Structure 1
Amino acid sequence: MRILVLGAGALGGYFGGRLQQAGAQVAYLVRPRRREQLLRDGLVIESPFGNARLPARALLAEEVTPDWDLILLTCKAYDLADAITAIRPAMARGTAVLPVLNGLSHIDRLAAEFGAGAVLGGLAKIQATLASDGAVRHLNDWRWLTFGELDGEMSPRVRALASLFARADGIVATAVTDILQRMWEKLAHLGTSAIGTVLLRANTGEIARSPGGIAFMHRVLERNAAIAVANGYPMPDSFMAEFRALFADTKGGYATSMLRDLEAGGRIEADHILGFLLDRARAAGVPHELHEAAFLHAKAYEQRRDAGRLPTRS
């Protein structure tokens, strides 16, 4: 299988490298600086599930041609427009796009650009980082990828990709017939976590130890579940029980990447997560004052960041 990975960062480098090891023909669409690094040092993976140094075929935008069975999209949601521009020359009849972005709004955007039949649904659960020396560092035992056709068919291309992943070390990949259900479940708990941790600037345990914190998080979770139901995706009882327990755990330490990015003065996925949920809450008639407050908070942060008015660290 011929696979083009957009970028060779934490997710793209890790999943792409493991697919390379499994026998796929993989190339990485990267910027000039990353290309030089890959050509000099190879793709370096440091992981509890095996280290690797692999030769990397690195392409610049002007070198891309439509020769691919699959394009793996691992960018942040705020880079989606640039990602679409970058992969457009690679798209051909029969090319599939597998995005593993947070949220759901990217699905409609990609379908509008390339046709619904070209787009798969996907979820990634992994903690990895791209180190300053160019190595992809896998940080724990999270190594999960879930994917499937949006219409639920177990298609030949999904079966072929599942077979390829089955030969890859360091990945637990699952092809499913209900990927949109899985994506709504992730959005419900990620949206709850983001609203809570961004508004309150604390992790889940710190919120739970604060007066009214557990009830607050449970209220947001219930509203996000109601949004999912209104869109045709009811949350299973087991899901609700799992995340009620997580948000009630006074010893928990979970914080979203959105909070970490915000505290670091970085870009955040405000529109893609918080804005999407706010729009859907309004459309569904779900009480949305908490969604509105979180989205406003995030957008005001972006205004302050763009104006260069964030506090500097000593």
Structure 2
Amino acid sequence: MKVAVMGAGAVGCYYGGMLARAGHAVVLIGRPAHVEAVRAHGLRMQTTRFDEQVPMEAATGPEAVAGADLVLFCVKSPDTESAGEQLRPHLPPGALVLSLQNGVDNAQRLQAVLPQQTVVPAVVYVATEMAGPGHLRHHGRGELVIGPSARSTDVAQTLAAAGVPTEVSAQAIGALWAKLILNCAYNALSAITRQPYGVLYPAPGIQPTLRAIADECLAVARADGVQVPGDLYAAVDAIAATMPAQFSSTAQDLMRGKPTEIDHINGYVVRRGDALGVPVPLNRLLHSLVKLLEAPPAARSTESSGR
């Protein structure tokens, strides 16, 4: 299978790398420094099970998706429409586009931009980071839940054979909400404190705070007619045990001076809560604090002096 990874950050490199390691033709589409490193040495996959240089192609432009059977779409949520527009002229008619993104509405937004393609939502459960150009570090897990389509079962079998446990579920949107709630609980707190989950979770007052954040999210989901599967409280508690060394993606973005996806995590819950009349004060506070932290220092200084 020919696979293109659009937005080859930590998530895309992990799943693309696993497919390449299994013998599939994979091209990573990413930033120049990362592409140059992969072209020169392959992708270093430093995982919990192996540490290998995995050879594969890499490119900086969207034209590299030409001929792909499967596109792993891994760009940041704010870039969904613009990246989809870039891909559209180069996508083969039969390519399946799998949205491996944070948030619950990316697949829907991407489908509107790519009306000739089949876009399938995916729920991603993996702890990864980029340790440098061409160097992926994996901290744990790696399974996927993907939505149904004519090709979803075949794609799931291909991923499973490559060492990625994958389930096809008609309840993928509910599962995306479950993932969103975990992100709402942990991402901003990890970013604000700059602590990994294993340090954050046992700190005084954090566990009831995590549950209170989850309660707000569940209330919004119910008001929105979404049934969230599983025991969310158990899932919140389990994150620190299964990913103790993981900093949230929001924390990683802030520490690298990059824009975060907080508008599509806690910010999404705030917007839906406001629209549905559900109060979400904790999510609103976390969203506001991260937005303040991601603002340039000069902007924060100007805002402070203007009080």
TM-score by length of 1: 0.80
Q: SS in structure 2 opposite 1:45?
A: strand
For residues 31-63 of structure 1, the C-alpha deviation after alignment (integer angstroms, 9 at most, x for no partner) is: 443333222212332323334333322234274
Q: SS in structure 1 opposite 2:226?
A: coil
Give, in whole Å, the separation in 1 of the partners of 2:194 and 2:51.
Answer: 36
Alpha-carbon deviation of 1:17? Answer: 2.1
Give, in whole Å, the separation in 2 of the partners of 1:187 and 1:242.
Answer: 15
Give, in whole Å, the separation in 2 of the partners of 1:33 and 1:209.
Answer: 38
Task: Pick one of 208, 215, 239 that aligns with 2:231.
Answer: 239
RMSD, matched Cα: 3.3
Give, in whole Å, the separation in 1 of the partners of 2:15 and 2:64.
Answer: 20
The residue aligned with 1:112 is 112
The letter of the residue matching 2:268 is F
Q: Label 1:95 to 1:259 Cα distance change in 2 as closer, same or farther (>3 A).
A: same
- Give the stretch that moved more between structures: 201-210 or 178-187: 201-210
Contact 1:128 1:136 (C-alpha < 8 Å) held by counterparts: yes
Contact 1:147 1:175 (C-alpha < 8 Å) held by counterparts: yes
Instruction: Give percent identity, aligned residues only.
Output: 26
Task: Pick one of 235, 242, 263 that aligns with 1:271.
Answer: 263
Q: SS in structure 2 opposite 1:131?
A: strand
For residues 201-225 of structure 1, the C-alpha deviation after alignment (integer angstroms, 9 at most, x for no partner) is: 76776576545x5444333221110
Q: SS in structure 2 opposite 1:64?
A: helix
Contact 1:77 1:106 (C-alpha < 8 Å) held by counterparts: yes
The residue aligned with 1:24 is 24
Give, in whole Å, the separation in 2 of the partners of 1:207 and 1:19.
Answer: 33
Alpha-carbon deviation of 1:19? Answer: 1.0
The residue aligned with 1:38 is 38
Contact 1:74 1:99 (C-alpha < 8 Å) held by counterparts: yes
Alpha-carbon deviation of 1:309? Answer: 5.8
Q: Does 1:124 align with 2:124?
A: yes
The letter of the residue matching 2:157 is S
- How does 1:148-227 map onto structure 2 within 5 Å? 148-149=147-148, 155-169=149-163, 171-194=164-187, 196-197=189-190, 209-210=203-204, 213-227=206-220
Which sections of structure 1, spanning at least 5 residues, go unmatched? 150-154
The residue aligned with 2:74 is 74
Give, in whole Å, the separation in 2 of the partners of 1:28 and 1:75.
Answer: 12
The residue aligned with 2:54 is 54
Which sections of structure 2, spanning at least 5 residues, go unmatched? 303-307
For residues 252-287 of structure 1, the C-alpha deviation after alignment (integer angstroms, 9 at most, x for no partner) is: 887633245335544211211122111111122111
Q: Label 1:145 to 1:79 Cα distance change in 2 as closer, same or farther (>3 A).
A: same
Which protein has the larger Cα radius of gyration, Structure 1 or Structure 2?
1
Alpha-carbon deviation of 1:168? Answer: 0.9
The residue aligned with 1:142 is 141
For residues 196-245 of structure 1, the C-alpha deviation after alignment (integer angstroms, 9 at most, x for no partner) is: 5556776776576545x544433322111011112222334x51341565
The letter of the residue matching 1:147 is I
TM-score by length of 2: 0.81
Contact 1:130 1:136 (C-alpha < 8 Å) held by counterparts: yes
Give, in whole Å, the separation in 1 of the partners of 2:62 and 2:74.
Answer: 20
Alpha-carbon deviation of 1:247? Answer: 9.7
Contact 2:93 2:116 (C-alpha < 8 Å) held by counterparts: no
Contact 2:128 2:140 (C-alpha < 8 Å) held by counterparts: no
The letter of the residue matching 2:161 is R
Give, in whole Å, the separation in 2 of the partners of 1:42 and 1:267.
Answer: 28
Contact 1:122 1:146 (C-alpha < 8 Å) held by counterparts: yes
Give, in whole Å, the separation in 2 of the partners of 1:128 and 1:201.
Answer: 16
Contact 1:201 1:259 (C-alpha < 8 Å) held by counterparts: yes
Count of residues in correspondence between the two structures? 299
The residue aligned with 1:99 is 99
Q: Label 1:3 to 1:34 Cα distance change in 2 as closer, same or farther (>3 A).
A: same
The letter of the residue matching 2:118 is A
Alpha-carbon deviation of 1:22? Answer: 2.7
The residue aligned with 2:305 is none
The letter of the residue matching 1:168 is A
Contact 1:188 1:228 (C-alpha < 8 Å) held by counterparts: no
Contact 2:25 2:56 (C-alpha < 8 Å) held by counterparts: no
The residue aligned with 2:283 is 291
Q: SS in structure 2 opposite 1:234?
A: coil
- Give the stretch that moved more between structures: 255-264 or 180-189: 255-264
Contact 1:64 1:89 (C-alpha < 8 Å) held by counterparts: no
Give, in whole Å, the separation in 2 of the partners of 1:40 and 1:65.
Answer: 20
